[in-house]
């Protein structure tokens, strides 16, 4: 099970309209997340559930969300 910081960041992605696909038990990544822009959107992002520093993985997820122009977030 991923750390709470990572789960919170994934929740933020879902709230912004990103699609989260949990990978199978044989993958290194916990999930792949996809921008709401579809094929014209941002590249998919691999999310690791048990990284050495969970805060860094959560920050990576939040950076992708901030950079995405297709998310349903308010930028004002």
Do 2 and 30 contact (CB within 8 A), yes or no? yes
Asked if 41 and 68 touch (Cβ cutoff 8 Å), the reply is: yes
Please name the residue that has the structure tokens 């992708």.
64
What pLDDT, on the 0 to 100 scale, is given for residue 39? 85
Tokens of 32: 């792949």
Predicted TM-score (pTM) of the model is 0.85
Contact at 8 Å (CB) between 35 and 42? yes
Alpha-carbon gap, residue 26 to 15, rounded angstroms: 27
pLDDT in tens, 19-66: 999 998 777 899 999 999 988 889 999 999 889 999 999 999 999 999
Give the pLDDT band of residue 70 (cuts 50, 70, 90): confident
């Amino acid at each position: 099970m991923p750390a709470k910081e990572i789960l919170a960041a994934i929740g933020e992605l879902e709230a912004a309209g990103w699609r989260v696909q949990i990978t199978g038990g044989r993958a290194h990544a916990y999930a792949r997340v996809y921008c709401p822009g579809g094929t014209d959107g941002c590249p998919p992002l691999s999310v690791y559930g048990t990284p050495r520093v969970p805060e860094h993985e959560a920050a990576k997820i939040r950076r992708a969300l901030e950079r995405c122009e297709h998310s349903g977030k308010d930028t004002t």
